[in-house]
Amino acid sequence: MSELPCPLCSADTPLDGGEEAGDSIICAFCFSPLKVTVKDDGSKTLIDNS
């Protein structure tokens, strides 16, 4: 279980930990479509997928 900040509302969006790069999720707070990306260092980040 981890959390990443939503790029739109800055709320920490919970992840189940099994997300892969390119997975689509919905922000639990603003309900915006987001996409998981993985940076070169292996850390995950969320981008706007609308």
Among residues 8 and 15, whose Cβ is nearest to Zn ion? 8
Residue among 3, 5, 14, 29 that touches Zn ion (CB under 5 A): 29
CB of 27 within 8 A of CB of 34?
Answer: yes
- Quick count: other Cβ atoms within 10 Å of Cβ 5? 13
Q: Which stretch binds Zn ion (CB under 5 A): 2-10, 15-23, 35-43?
A: 2-10
Task: Check residue 27 for interaction with Zn ion (CB under 5 A).
Answer: yes
Least distance to Zn ion, CB of residue 46, Å: 9
Kindly list the distances between the CA atom of residue 30 and the CA atoms of 41, 42, 43, 49, in Å, as whole numbers in the listed order. 28, 26, 23, 13
